[in-house]
Structure 1
Amino acid sequence: MKNLSMKKIPAKSITNNNTPQLRETRIHGNSLFPFMLYDIQSDTTFPERVNCHWHEEVEILVIERGNGRLYLGEEAFALKTGSICLIPSNALHLVTCEIGEALDFYAIVFHPDLLYSLGNDIIQQKFLDPLFHQGVQFSTLYETSRVINPAFAWEFTLREVLDEIHDAFLTKPYGYELLIKAALLKSCHLMISHAIVNQEEAYVDSDYRTGLIKSIMKYLQANYNDTVTLDELEKTFNISKGYLCRSFKSVTHMTPFEYLNYFRISKSTELLLETDREISQIALQTGFNNISYFNRTFQRFMHMTPREFRRSVVRRPSESL
């Protein structure tokens, strides 16, 4: 979520081509909890209150004060106090407001992986993917829109759930991560239950492909501490490299080797927390033959070095019981 534009971009220039230079590079949380919340009192000297950009994370904007306009792809929607906007993953978006007028809001930003299961299950296919990737619309009092302006009971309930997320993140009571994840799932249920989406098209029965990807994932998990090659996967599963990579990424949103490294880093975090082994030993034990590559990969997923990660985790006294 980018705030405070430094360059004016006319609305007509917004397209759906995911322009690389507009991709946001800000890190929202980390791989253990890919979630962030921003309270924004936007700069009234700029018409652009959220600069044109896109990111892999899903974003929910809640307008607390003021009127503005949301540009989402090639569509534009009016915003007012109380508006709720669901911005899908990888969607170009921009928020504007008249110069001199206040526009205050908070933004909930999270990666879909926070709510996905490890496999591409029916919950992801039928309910979450349409919200996160297709861009659904909602029936309002007068029209269908991508913006919710609470008028019905479920919409007021949605606002209460989003405010609960907001307050939990700010106060951070014990277990706030669990509370936020549960509330996000509840908000997704409220939205998909009232969204206009073709459920038959949203859910594609792909038992063979899903089964194949699960088998590949299990193979990678079983061999994470060994060297795995694409030739080996091709031979093991008797399919072409191209089909294997395309199918794997369509389901997991990662390449096979991105997933393998993700799993290796997950294992390394367990060893960093549960043992006193040297970092170089942990790197070798989790399939990394090069300590420098391990450090770079760890930092890419965890946004900190292995040593910083080990030092950053403080166990509560009760957790040792």
Structure 2
Amino acid sequence: MRKSIMINDQGFEERLHGDYRFPFEVSKDSLSEYEQGFFECHWHPEVEFTVVLKGAMLYQVNDTVYELSEGSGLFANANSLHSARAYDNGRDCTYIAVIFNPVLVFGHERSAIEEKYVKTITEAPHLASMLLTPESAWQKQAIRLLMEIHQQNEQRGVCYELLIKSKLCELWALLFQGFQDSSPRIQPGATRSVLRVKQALQFIHSHYENKLTLEEIAAACNLSKSECSRFFKKMIRQSPFEYLLHYRIQKSLPLLLDPDANITEVSEQVGFASVSYYAEIFRRYMKCSPTEYRKQHKK
């Protein structure tokens, strides 16, 4: 079965990255493994580092789009909106993602490390992301550390958690020092627009089963209809209505895996007025019918 990022009503990714004992996850993925060949816009409280191993991708964080090629990487800050798609639709992209809660670095709340080194990054209003390239000495070292972290996790030798934590602390020190020397990556005002889009997304996620209008979505985030549409196009690369349709289709996928579920009932549960319109939109996004999807994913 292909991957998809399940998003809750608040817009957070539902899946935990690691667990309470060790809130860390590293994976090697390809965009082709995801439904539709990309992962959709979402956010989570953990920070995320990405390194491209093969191919290229367009990685968007809030309103900034990065072209990541082989050997380059990216830091996406906690709670930033992010998504990715292939740079060239005809080529796949393989990458490593390292996701962790910064508590692994600072240990406990209100520690000197949290106050001095972690919050200055995770709560920086003008640091949603940072490009990592081999041309920069410290960024090259950061990319090397990310590869070593992936290797340690794959091997899982004696004390691998300690070794990973040690490398995460070293990685954070590089990031902190690099941040001090870098210029702001987000223009003033971006924080407000990100907040508004998140509010709109949360409204859609909580009410997608109902008939929604652009006016209602815009009102939920205190924007005019034109502003709401403009912010969505800039950060989500879809109109509010296009995002709503896509989200409804995504929410219908797990329902279709129930062999006893009636497709008409599934379409109604996710907010479609008719099963024919549901089938039309489903084929547009999934390149197959709901019935074909069910057969392809039959257990």
**Pick aligned residue for 2:107 from 114, 117, 127:** 117
Moved more, 65-74 or 20-29: 20-29
User: How far 1:190 moved relative to its partner?
Assistant: 0.9
The reply to whether residue 86 of structure 1 matches residue 70 of structure 2 is no
Q: Is the 8 A contact 2:3 2:34 kept in 1?
A: no
User: How far 1:46 moved relative to its partner?
Assistant: 6.6
The reply to whether residue 68 of structure 1 matches residue 57 of structure 2 is yes
Instruction: Classify 1:45/1:38 alpha carbon distance in 2 versus 1 (closer, same or farther; 3 Å).
Output: closer
User: How far 1:44 moved relative to its partner?
Assistant: 7.6
Instruction: Classify 1:156/1:49 alpha carbon distance in 2 versus 1 (closer, same or farther; 3 Å).
Output: same
Q: Is the 8 A contact 1:4 1:49 kept in 2?
A: no
User: How far 1:173 moved relative to its partner?
Assistant: 0.6
The reply to whether residue 50 of structure 1 matches residue 50 of structure 2 is no
User: How far 1:90 moved relative to its partner?
Assistant: 1.1
Moved more, 39-48 or 118-127: 39-48
User: One-letter code of the match for 1:36?
Assistant: E
Distance 2:90 2:143 in 1: 27
Match of 1:220 in 2: none
Match of 2:24 in 1: 35
User: How far 1:22 moved relative to its partner?
Assistant: 3.0
User: How far 1:72 moved relative to its partner?
Assistant: 0.7
**Pick aligned residue for 1:184 from 168, 184, 189:** 168
Distance 1:39 1:6 in 2: 15
User: One-letter code of the match for 2:104?
Assistant: L
What is the SS of the residue equivalent to 2:50?
strand
Instruction: Classify 1:46/1:31 alpha carbon distance in 2 versus 1 (closer, same or farther; 3 Å).
Output: closer
Q: Is the 8 A contact 2:5 2:13 kept in 1?
A: no
Instruction: Classify 1:170/1:38 alpha carbon distance in 2 versus 1 (closer, same or farther; 3 Å).
Output: same
What is the SS of the residue equivalent to 1:146?
strand
Root mean square deviation, CA, Å: 3.0
Match of 1:149 in 2: 133
The CA deviation string for residues 182-219 of structure 1, in whole angstroms up to 9 with x for no partner, is: 10010111111111479xxxxxxxxxxxxxxxxxxxxx
The reply to whether residue 159 of structure 1 matches residue 146 of structure 2 is no
User: How far 1:119 moved relative to its partner?
Assistant: 3.4
User: One-letter code of the match for 1:160?
Assistant: R
Instruction: Classify 1:136/1:189 alpha carbon distance in 2 versus 1 (closer, same or farther; 3 Å).
Output: farther
Aligned length: 181
Distance 2:181 2:161 in 1: 30
Runs of at least 5 residues in structure 2 that lack an aligned partner in the other structure: 183-299
User: How far 1:56 moved relative to its partner?
Assistant: 1.2
Distance 2:139 2:76 in 1: 17
What is the SS of the residue equivalent to 1:43?
helix
Identity %: 26
Distance 2:5 2:8 in 1: 18
Q: Is the 8 A contact 2:3 2:33 kept in 1?
A: no
Runs of at least 5 residues in structure 1 that lack an aligned partner in the other structure: 8-17, 139-144, 199-321
TM-score (norm 1): 0.50
User: One-letter code of the match for 1:131?
Assistant: I
Distance 1:73 1:49 in 2: 16
**Pick aligned residue for 2:11 from 22, 28, 53:** 22
Distance 2:74 2:35 in 1: 21
The reply to whether residue 77 of structure 1 matches residue 58 of structure 2 is no
Match of 1:269 in 2: none
What is the SS of the residue equivalent to 2:70?
coil
Instruction: Classify 1:134/1:75 alpha carbon distance in 2 versus 1 (closer, same or farther; 3 Å).
Output: same
Match of 1:133 in 2: 123
Q: Which of the pair has the greater relative contact order for Cα pairs under 8 Å at 6+ separation? A: 2
